[in-house]
Chains A and B, each alone.
Chain A
Amino acid sequence: MQKTNNSKFIFLIILLPLFLTGCYDRFELDNLAYVVAIGVDNGKNNNVNITYQIAVPLKITGENSETGQETYTVYTVSAPSLSVGNTIVNTLVSKEVNLSHVKLILYSEEIAKTEMSGHFNSFMSHTDIRPKVTLAVCEGKAENFLNKVSSTLEVSPARYYELLFSSYNYTSQSVGSELIDFYTASQSKDREPFAIYVKLEENEQGTTEIKPQGIAAFSGSSMKGIIEPELVISHLLLTNDLKKSGYCVKDFNKDDRVISVNLDQMKAPQIKVSTDTDNPKIECNIELVAHLVSSGSNINFYEDDNKKRLEEELNKSLETRIGNYLDKTINEFETDIARIRKICKTQLFNLARF
């Protein structure tokens, strides 16, 4: 009898949550407006202009799918913070704004050169926004950028950003810059943040597509300058991020021709820093594998001398680039985006000495 009563009691308790739940605050996929990119520009009266690029699902899926600017709509609001911006944009859009599919956070160069810490703190505290979302700095205004950008090959703007900003996996012209990495680097004493620098370029078909234009180098949370695309390979080599890339050096038989190789970074770079003198000495040992693709003249690469000469040319070219990159970041911009300082701290016993 006791057992039957217990079972009834437990059954009633299990039933209880079903009656306590409600559906008044349910989320329906159709009732949400999915933001795919957020742009941040300087505004008036200490406000920032936040641009929301929202996907138009009807244009992305089905038979009526389109590419380019038809697949999204853009709203710009002036607000002191992201939360207030969300509130304002929610009054403009018929659906509730949802940030869980944001693929790009874009800062204008102008705002990046000022103190950015307050802004990306609010991005980090939004649990909707993924920590690995791409953070980029653009030439000109972010609002114009998000209004004009279009893609030829991709229907979904979210997928376009996702694929475009992962191109550093197979090129040496672009870097991966994620919000979490940027944020943690800006907080740390042993590293500096960086972001991919992009601009818009009109192609022959008349569409305006994104073109990576190097790296925006930061010190703390303000931008110090831009590393040119040809030096990006040096950054990738030093940070062990070069997956594979095409590369060329001058043909040593004919000055107007080139020898093309494919570079693979097989091992992490060995970087040593000696702090014995006032000027620290950085020694980098980078191991690369070069696969010969083509040469402009008829050089016989079966001969050891030619192979050695090609190796020397490659070494010389890469050494110059890495030297220029380090000179630019350390001496000109006074920043450490190659993250040499974190290697220095491995030689110490406690943080106070660092």
Chain B
Amino acid sequence: MHSTLKIGTWEAVATIGCISLIPILLTLPTYAVTDFGTATFLHNVYTTILTLIMLVIILSLYKNFSHMDIVDIAKHVGGKPLQIICGIILISTILILCILTFSEFTQNLQNVLFPDAPQEYISILFGIGILISVFLGIRGIFRTSSIVVPMIAVGFIFMFFVLFNDTDITNFFPVFGNGISNFFSQGFNRIARYEGIFYIFLITPYVKNYKKVGYLSFILSTFFVLPIIFLLVGNIPYPSITENYFPIFELTRLINLGRFIQRVESIFILLWLLATFIYLSLSVYFAIYIFQKIFDLQYSQRLIPCFTTIIMSICTLLNSFEIIIKIRNFFFVHVSTYVLYILPIILLIVANIKRRIECKKLIIQNSSF
């Protein structure tokens, strides 16, 4: 990214909201219901509160480093070696999440829309799209999401009002589902559901007001996450819901407004396709961005086809849907939260301590003169 680049507040908010939407579109709600049963919605509210607390901590820690992204902060804390280590961890996480989302979404698309088309063909079409968008630059991705996200939001509002009447409140009971201890102990490691919040660490130097972007994107992400879980649990009772591996698609299949509006899932799929496309393009872009930064590369454009080809090749190798969703769930529960939230927070805390020590040293030096 050029140092002169500026991202508008709405563009940043829309993009982060779009990224947070992706985990909810795929199998994560299914796994959440398997773990928490009827308490899934309440657990999501609990996770949302935890995420908000984390966000407040992150934004307050960022106070003195708003001109730096997380890779710069790693360099500030531990020099080049730490920057390279953190950079590689972040690139790996972003790419793994990207590959899993790519494979899962293309398999779902194949099952639902193109049962006769080979998966490689769908992957190639996606890959070409990603390649072009990353070549054209970050500004285009952010601008596209600022147009696409309002359309997705309208779709969600429509879905919410149509399906709300069919929501059965008794599906949310017993309130603690599979047990109180399970409910509370498994809250923290689910905050990666708000995956988009992590991207604040990468775009902070390029936005005008990072705090505004942070809170607004959290509100937008919550607007997507909570109503979907509410409709899902309220419309498809436990345990039937655990059998759906593309639950939101099943939900849109239930939309019926008399004899006039039926089979609207095709419109929704188009919107999700755009959202996934933005997510994948952004993941590839930031993976290359971090790679360029940690190895001090002057030109990054030639890396774009390499990264895209690697992603596409791994996706075509992952042809078992069962393995993909198992890896995804494992990664989501045991890795994502720690890399996307805990690692940056630790870096920020250390950076703040280091800064305080440096300030104290400066004060002592100044007073000795």
CB within 8 Å of B: which residues of A? 6, 10, 13-14, 16-17, 20, 25, 127, 130-132, 162, 180, 183-184, 187-188, 190-191, 342-343, 345-346, 348-354
What residues of B have a CB within 8 angstroms of the CB of A25 in the complex?
116
CB <8 Å contact, B239 and A188: yes
Binds A, one of B146-154, B172-180, B345-353: B172-180
Tell me if B326 is interfacial: C-beta within 8 Å of chain A.
no
Q: Assuming the A-B contacts A10-B132, A345-B170, are A127 and B111 also in contact, with contact meaning beta carbons closer than 8 angstroms in the complex?
A: yes
- B147 to chain A minimum Cβ distance, whole angstroms, is 19
CB <8 Å contact, A13 and B173: no
**Interface membership of chain B positions 223-247, coded 1 if the CB is closer than 8 angstroms to chain A and 0 otherwise:** 0000000000000111110000000
What residues of B have a CB within 8 angstroms of the CB of A184 in the complex?
236-237, 240
What residues of A have a CB within 8 angstroms of the CB of B263 in the complex?
130
CB <8 Å contact, B254 and A131: yes
Q: Of B125, B173, B180, B240, which contacts A346 at CB under 8 A?
A: B173
CB <8 Å contact, A350 and B180: yes
CB <8 Å contact, A348 and B253: no
Please provide the 5 A-B residue pairs with the shortest distance between their CB atoms, ordered closest to farther: A184-B240, A346-B173, A342-B170, A348-B174, A187-B240
Tell me if B306 is interfacial: C-beta within 8 Å of chain A.
no
Q: In this complex, what residue of A is CB-closest to B242?
A: A187
What residues of B have a CB within 8 angstroms of the CB of A348 in the complex?
173-174
CB <8 Å contact, B132 and A13: yes
Interchain Cβ contacts under 8 Å between A and B, 15 examples:
A6-B135, A17-B128, A25-B116, A127-B111, A131-B253, A188-B239, A191-B237, A342-B168, A349-B174, A350-B176, A350-B179, A351-B38, A352-B178, A352-B179, A353-B174
CB <8 Å contact, A351 and B177: yes
Q: Assuming the A-B contacts A131-B250, A346-B170, are A10 and B177 also in contact, with contact meaning beta carbons closer than 8 angstroms in the complex?
A: no
Most chain A C-beta atoms within 10 Å of own C-beta, residue among B177, B239, B240: B240
What residues of A have a CB within 8 angstroms of the CB of B131 in the complex?
13
CB <8 Å contact, A17 and B125: yes
What residues of B have a CB within 8 angstroms of the CB of A20 in the complex?
121, 124
- Tell me, in angstroms, the Cα distance from A283 to B206 when the chains sit together: 63
CB <8 Å contact, B180 and A349: yes
- B4 to chain A minimum Cβ distance, whole angstroms, is 19
Q: In this complex, what residue of A is CB-closest to B117?
A: A25
- Tell me, in angstroms, the Cα distance from A14 to B136 when the chains sit together: 13
Q: Of A13, A191, A346, A353, which contacts B128 at CB under 8 A?
A: A13
Q: Assuming the A-B contacts A20-B121, A184-B237, are A350 and B178 also in contact, with contact meaning beta carbons closer than 8 angstroms in the complex?
A: yes
Q: Of B124, B173, B180, which contacts A345 at CB under 8 A?
A: B173
CB <8 Å contact, B240 and A132: no
Q: Assuming the A-B contacts A25-B116, A350-B178, are A188 and B240 also in contact, with contact meaning beta carbons closer than 8 angstroms in the complex?
A: yes
- A249 to chain B minimum Cβ distance, whole angstroms, is 32
- Tell me, in angstroms, the Cα distance from A184 to B241 when the chains sit together: 8
- Tell me, in angstroms, the Cα distance from A114 to B19 when the chains sit together: 48
What residues of B have a CB within 8 angstroms of the CB of A191 in the complex?
237
CB <8 Å contact, B174 and A10: no
CB <8 Å contact, A351 and B240: no
CB <8 Å contact, A183 and B180: no
Q: Of A13, A16, A17, A132, which contacts B256 at CB under 8 A?
A: A132
What residues of A have a CB within 8 angstroms of the CB of B116 in the complex?
25
Q: In this complex, what residue of A is CB-closest to B115?
A: A127
- A221 to chain B minimum Cβ distance, whole angstroms, is 13
Tell me if B335 is interfacial: C-beta within 8 Å of chain A.
no
Which residues B152-189 have CB closer than 8 A to chain A?
168, 170, 173-180
Apart from A187-B239, A342-B170: 18 A-B pairs, beta carbons within 8 A: A10-B136, A20-B124, A132-B256, A180-B236, A180-B254, A183-B240, A187-B240, A188-B239, A188-B240, A342-B168, A342-B173, A345-B174, A350-B174, A350-B178, A351-B174, A352-B178, A352-B179, A354-B174
What residues of A have a CB within 8 angstroms of the CB of B124 in the complex?
20
- B320 to chain A minimum Cβ distance, whole angstroms, is 18
**Interface membership of chain B positions 125-147, coded 1 if the CB is closer than 8 angstroms to chain A and 0 otherwise:** 10010011001100000000000
What residues of A have a CB within 8 angstroms of the CB of B135 in the complex?
6, 10
CB <8 Å contact, A14 and B132: yes
CB <8 Å contact, B180 and A351: no
Which residues B6-24 have CB closer than 8 A to chain A?
none
Which residues B229-282 have CB closer than 8 A to chain A?
236-240, 250, 253-254, 256, 259, 262-263
What residues of A have a CB within 8 angstroms of the CB of B177 in the complex?
350-351
- Tell me, in angstroms, the Cα distance from A163 to B250 when the chains sit together: 24
- Tell me, in angstroms, the Cα distance from A10 to B259 when the chains sit together: 43
Tell me if B362 is interfacial: C-beta within 8 Å of chain A.
no
- B36 to chain A minimum Cβ distance, whole angstroms, is 10
- Tell me, in angstroms, the Cα distance from A17 to B38 when the chains sit together: 45
- B132 to chain A minimum Cβ distance, whole angstroms, is 6
Q: In this complex, what residue of A is CB-closest to B262?
A: A130
CB <8 Å contact, A351 and B125: no
